[in-house]
Structure 1
Amino acid sequence: MQRQDSQDAPLFGEDDDHMKPKKSKIRHPLASFFHLFFRTSAILVYLLCDTFSSRFIACMVTIILLLSCDFWTVKNVSGRLLVGLRWWNQVDEDGKSHWVFESKKQTHSLNTAGSADSRIFWLGLIVCPIFWVIFVFSTIFSLKIKWLAVVIMGLILQWANLYGYVRCKVGGKSNLRDMAKNYIGVQIFKQAMKKLRDLEVEEDE
């Protein structure tokens, strides 16, 4: 696993951002649109398919195509442009596979200008997989087994992007482990301090 800051590996569209004036809060409206378009369209087609069409195969193919377009767009375009993050798999000379999670260093002005882009990116990235989790359980409980493969694929593809970008944001595996350790340490410290205060109260009484 690798994580690196990409000052020496420019993201596409990066050079143009320094030259163009910031006319609006959304710096990449087209990328923001397609970041939400494919994933919301897949959800809407799934919800409305039984209402407007009885052709299961056509609906399934449409949903899978939308999910595939969404996965490619989020992984290769919107993640780089909207938040300066990217992740991918590479094979070294020894034939070993490595996952790389990369974060671009940004100045305060760029972070401020792209705050709307960032909100759109993370909102779509987090909310949409929640729908597919709900669809998985609703499909199982309603016994609509024919849809199970579709909703599981939707969950896997969107969860993969969510997991990859969270890793880019917070760091590699070691960073996640450090966060967990820090959280546990804070909780233990709070419990110890609470017990200490309780003892002090009992002694005063």
Structure 2
Amino acid sequence: MMENDDDVSLFDAEEDVGTKSKKTIKHPLASFFHLFFRVSAILVYLLCKFFSSSFIAPMVMVILLLSCDFWTVKGSGKKQLVSDSESRIFWLGLIVCPILWGIFAFSALFSFNIKWLPVVIMGLVLQGANMYGYVRCRVGGKTSLKNMATNYFGRQFLKQALSKEGES
């Protein structure tokens, strides 16, 4: 994956403008379709069981919707300025959806609903890869994800140790 600052600029939300423009959404179509394709893929998975016993059509729909999401997010990354609201919408959608697909995967596995597992795995893989790519771009060459996680958990452990020591 090539690292390009232009691809990540949409989601940095570093603006030197007033608070009024930070709360407005400058690119409503990009924000809408980012969430629309992700939520639609989840709804197709959840509702397809009521309308059909086939898993081929839902799998195709999930793949198409998540592919459209990737294209929309990648294509909208070329814009330069975004608001804090757009940044929050993007990162919320980027993180929450793979978590939901993970929950669906465990649910399908533990309920022995194995025939739906390929659909869920495809959703998890596509959303997870998208999330990993953007988190990796966000972190960039500054540090690896492993070092970032290690530093975070190290700080949390140190905070807990210091707070317990202060209570003694």
Interval containing the TM-score (normalised by the shorter chain):
0.7 to 0.9
Counterpart among 86, 89, 101 of residue 117 in structure 1: 86
- Secondary structure of the residue that 1:171 maps to in structure 2? helix
Question: How far 1:53 sits from its partner (Å)?
Answer: 2.6
Q: Distance in 1 between matches of 2:87 and 2:60?
A: 31
Partner letter of residue 46 of structure 1?
Y
Aligned AA for 1:77?
G
Partner amino acid, structure 2, of 1:160: A
Partner of 1:18: none
Residue type at the aligned position of 2:106: F
Runs of 4+ off more than 3 Å: 1-6, 78-81, 175-195
Do residues 160 (structure 1) and 129 (structure 2) align?
Answer: yes
2:111 aligns with: 142
Give the whole-Å Cα distance in 1 for the aligned partners of 2:67 and 2:36.
12
Q: Of the two, which has the highest radius of gyration? A: 1
Measure, in 2, the Cα distance between the counterparts of 1:134 and 1:184: 24
Report the Cα offset of residue 184 of structure 1. 5.7
Greater helix percent: which structure? 2
What is the CA-CA distance between 1:154 and the residue it aligns to?
0.6
Deviation at 1:62, TM superposition (A): 1.6
Q: 1:49 to 1:184 in 2, by over 3 A?
A: closer
Quote the Cα distance in structure 2 between the aligned partners of 1:193 and 1:57.
54
Q: In structure 2, what is the Cα distance between the partners aligned to 1:55 and 1:190?
A: 50
TM-score, with length taken from structure 1: 0.62
* Matched residue count: 157
Give the 3 Å change call, closer, same or farther, for CA 80–129 of structure 1 in structure 2: farther
- Equivalent position of 1:35 in the other structure: 34
Pick closer, same or farther for the CA change 1:2–1:57 going to 2, 3 Å. Answer: closer
Partner residue, 1:60: 59
For 2:75, the aligned partner's letter is V
- Contact map agreement 1:167 1:173 (CA 8 A) in 2: no
Query: Does the CA contact (< 8 Å) of 1:139 and 1:147 recur in 2?
Result: yes
* Larger RCO of the pair (alpha carbons < 8 Å, separation 6+): 2
141, 144, 157: which one aligns with 1:172: 141
Rounded Cα–Cα distance in structure 2 between residues aligned with 1:192 and 1:139: 42
| Match runs of 1:185-196 below 5 Å | 186=155, 187-188=157-158, 191=161
Give 1:46 shift. Answer: 0.6
Alignment partner of 1:129 is 2:98 = yes
Match of 1:77 in 2: 75
Q: TM-score, normalised by structure 2?
A: 0.73
Structure 1 pair 34–140 and aligned structure 2 pair: CA distance change class (3 A): same
- 1:44 pairs with 2:43: yes
Structure 1 residue 122: deviation in Å?
Answer: 0.9
Partner SS, residue 172 of structure 1: helix
Does the Cα contact within 8 Å between 1:78 and 1:121 map onto a contact in 2? no
